[in-house]
Structures are given as structure tokens and as C-alpha cells.
Amino acid sequence: MAKSEVEVITSERRRRHWSRAEKERIVAAALEPGATILGVARACGVHGSQVFRWRQQLCSKPTSAPGFAAVTVAAEPPVAAARTQGLIEVELGAETRIRISGAADAATVTAVITALRAGKR
């Protein structure tokens, strides 16, 4: 299969440069009803994978640039205050765990454990 047209690149660049307008024109032609990307690529003298890449670049949603989030560094609580608050951790079987931090009265803890046991039956 012989091509009737040959392109000779005489610049120092070895690769062909496509402007954004040319890329948009080729991608638009490939998106026409009944057109195939490979058919349009052959007609324009481009490799099919290049047209797929251009379509991905031109038709994808723009992503926001990564940035920094505002962060506030809080001071650690005093050690004495952390000890007075307390922590209760109860495991009922392998799947149920409850963690209560801070001040909790015995009636509340008993009610929570009773409710969890009733739900396991």
C-alpha cells in the first residue's frame, strides 16, 4: 500500500508539532457520527493512539490544581487533664467494640452495654 503524499520535515525538530487548533479539528472529526478514530487518524497522517490521547486531553474535565489546605495546630492538652478524663473500652465478641472517653456515670455505661448485648442475640 503506497501513500500518494510524503511529508519531509526539514527543521531541526524530529517530531511534528501540532497546534491546538489542528488537534481540536482532528478530534472533532473523529467525534462525528459514523467516523472512527483510526480512519480519521490515517486520513490526517497521525497515529491512532495520538488521536486517542488528544481526545482524552481535550474532552476530559479540567482538574483543579493541587494546593494547600489551611491547618491550625492546636496545643496538646495538659497531661493531668487527659488523665482525669479517662477512657473506657469494652469489647463484646470479635465484632463489637465501644469506647467511651471523658466522664461517664455507671448508669450510662451499664445501659450501653445492656443495649449492645441485646442487639447481639
Q: What is the pLDDT of residues 15-64, one digit of tens each?
A: 778 888 999 999 999 889 999 988 999 998 889 999 999 988 888 777 77
Contact 98, 113 (CB under 8 A): yes
The span from the CA of 46 to the CA of 49, in Å, is 8
The span from the CA of 101 to the CA of 103, in Å, is 7
Three-state SS at 112: helix
Distance from chain centroid for Cα 32: 30
What pTM does this model have? 0.42
- Split at pLDDT 50, 70, 90, the class of 117 is confident
